[in-house]
Structure 1
Amino acid sequence: MKTITVAHSPDADDIFMYYAIRFGWVNLEGIKFDNIALDIETLNVEAFKNTYDVTAISFALYPKIREEYALLTTAVSFGEGYGPKVVKLKDKKLKRNFKVALSGEHTTNAMLFKIAYPEARIIYKNFLEIEDAVLNGEVDAGVLIHESILTFDDKLEVERELWDIWCELSGGDLPLPLGGMALRRSIPINRAIDYEDTLIKAVKVATTHAKPLSKMLLERDLIRVDAPTLEKYLSMYANADSVALNEIQYKAINRLFEIGYENGFYDTLIKAEDFLIPREYKELRNS
């Protein structure tokens, strides 16, 4: 049996979308999917090294790894009127060069933040450490991601929503592309299509059986939040729109790539549709 490594972040939506495979609800004959959970910036860095067969990534990273990884069409997370939050202590006034903690150099939120706050002094921390860094005064502000946007301490307040920054930069009519999945190009195309199909099926099964799957995750202490928070969080980031990229989502990703290119983050401008697994290969092969 061949083993395929699937790396994802430890936040609730990634775990939720993968665990239909882990629990055996979805499988692929002859293939064992072996998952590993790491924070998103670690996954971004490992993608540069071509470490995992399938990996979660920040959408903002993708143009930098396009030669080694194909962009998958499933297990995607977008913000729709919400997203990461810039937080600070209540009533604190931020200077132009305020010190801020971000969850990683290659994250989508980091790119948007840098464009909006070019004079901020940035340090990088594991996303689980950012809230405490703001509370103890190590930094003036921090960008919260994942479940922290719902559970942060009441001593903190939102300085600015990354959603608002995105709307200003993008034109305001597109969802915010946050996280997606990518697959190593060295995998044969026919198998790559099979792996993507399996992942699509897993996300679809997860989102259509959200209640029993959520209960199993909570009972096994695989999630960091309580049941009501999990339900709310999954409604935001692991829903029917996570199963397969749609036209509006492609437009949003491409707008993100345009913004990054215009601001010097990428060496060339690409379109997401040009970097998917060429599914027509299977049709031609079977014709």
Structure 2
Amino acid sequence: MSDRLDIAYSPCPNDTFVFHAWAHGMVPGAPELDVTFADIDVTNGMAERGEFDVLKVSYAVLPWVLDEYALLPCGGALGRGCGPLVLTREPGVSLAGRTVAVPSERSTAYLLFRLWAAAAVPGGVGEVVVLPFHEIMPAVRDGRVDAGLVIHEARFTYQEYGLHALADMGEHWETTTGLPIPLGAIVAKRSLGPARLRELAAAARTSVRMAWDDPAASRAYVLEHAQEMDPAVADQHIGLYVNEFTADLGEAGYAAVRGLLTRAAGEGLVPPLGRDALAFA
């Protein structure tokens, strides 16, 4: 592997932590990377348009992109106790008929929210509006929307906005399925070929393990791109979203992904997956 690849991932601490070694030429034999930073809603659109060789995307977008991209078995974000939250200004309010801000309608967070709302909000929520995730908590605080679905480091900072956690989408998912929460996936162009896809997976896995072996090495890179995030919050973020599933999806990880997309297809939220859609090279 010697040629360069275009890759896009978010500036969030878990992604910069995972890809630090690879992006800086520290993974032996791995291709050089031309890195573009973009929020998940942007990278989802990039995948739908087939714009990059490798992308970090939401698991929710997979049904639309798996013809062109293969899911790599490592490098992504799954976990437990790390799901999106629904926030409101007052505790315990009903969302029936209310306006809810979400970070994307092609996100895992949105699928988890719709599955939760189908069970927990009789009559359903009202209007759903899409906002960049960093604008959602201010919008809830200022009364521009009734509730907001938040992801990433907002789990650790929402109380600073005087907001309340109405429901934890991950808790609902784990309670009803027993499976980890599938959040972000790494995908690569199928046109690269099976051998190259296996090499990319090996490079991603090595980059993860190098980050774990020397966490201090990536710290400057993580904080440079963490959008003025408190270093302690960045550490919490990494600790929550970089785990054994990042190194390898494994049986439970694949079950979680297929379970989410099968349930979402049953609700008409995504197209159904083919039998071998998640198969790796």
Q: 1:228 Cα shift?
A: 1.8
- Could you tell me how far apart the structure 2 residues matched to 1:230 and 1:256 are? 27
Q: How does 1:63-78 map to 2 (within 5 A)?
A: 63-78=63-78
Q: 1:63 Cα shift?
A: 1.7
Deviations along 1:31-60, whole A, 9 cap, x unmatched? 321111111011111111001100011112
| Farther-moved stretch of structure 1 (193-202 vs 125-134) | 193-202
Give 2:214's aligned residue: 209
Give 2:120's aligned residue: none
Give 1:125's aligned residue: 131
Q: 1:183 Cα shift?
A: 0.6
Question: Among the aligned pairs, what percent are the same residue?
Answer: 26
**Aligned residues of 1:73 and 1:276 also touching (Cα < 8 A):** no
Q: 1:154 Cα shift?
A: 4.4
Instruction: Name the SS for the 1:275 alignment partner.
Output: coil
* Structure 1 residue 189 corresponds to structure 2 residue 203: no
AA partner of residue 132 (structure 2): N
- Could you tell me how far apart the structure 2 residues matched to 1:236 and 1:95 are? 28
Instruction: Name the SS for the 2:182 alignment partner.
Output: strand
Query: What residue ranges of structure 2 are gaps of 5+ in the alignment?
Result: 118-123
AA partner of residue 278 (structure 2): F
Q: How does 1:81-160 map to 2 (within 5 A)?
A: 81-91=81-91, 93-117=93-117, 118-152=124-158, 153-160=160-167
TM-score (norm 1): 0.88
Give 2:41's aligned residue: 41
* Structure 1 residue 230 corresponds to structure 2 residue 234: yes
**Aligned residues of 1:60 and 1:111 also touching (Cα < 8 A):** yes
* Structure 1 residue 258 corresponds to structure 2 residue 262: yes
Q: 1:158 Cα shift?
A: 0.2
Q: 1:107 Cα shift?
A: 0.1
| Farther-moved stretch of structure 1 (61-70 vs 233-242) | 233-242
Give 2:21's aligned residue: 20
**Aligned residues of 1:96 and 1:119 also touching (Cα < 8 A):** yes
Give 1:281's aligned residue: none
Q: 1:141 Cα shift?
A: 0.8
AA partner of residue 216 (structure 2): K
**Aligned residues of 1:3 and 1:34 also touching (Cα < 8 A):** yes
**Aligned Cα root-mean-square deviation (Å):** 2.0
Q: 1:79 Cα shift?
A: 3.1
Query: What residue ranges of structure 1 are gaps of 5+ in the alignment?
Result: 279-287
- Could you tell me how far apart the structure 2 residues matched to 1:52 and 1:24 are? 19
**Aligned residues of 2:87 and 2:166 also touching (Cα < 8 A):** yes
Instruction: Name the SS for the 1:182 alignment partner.
Output: strand
- Could you tell me how far apart the structure 2 residues matched to 1:111 and 1:97 are? 18
- Could you tell me how far apart the structure 1 residues matched to 2:253 and 2:185 are? 11
Q: 1:27 Cα shift?
A: 4.5
AA partner of residue 234 (structure 1): I
- Could you tell me how far apart the structure 1 residues matched to 2:24 and 2:270 are? 39
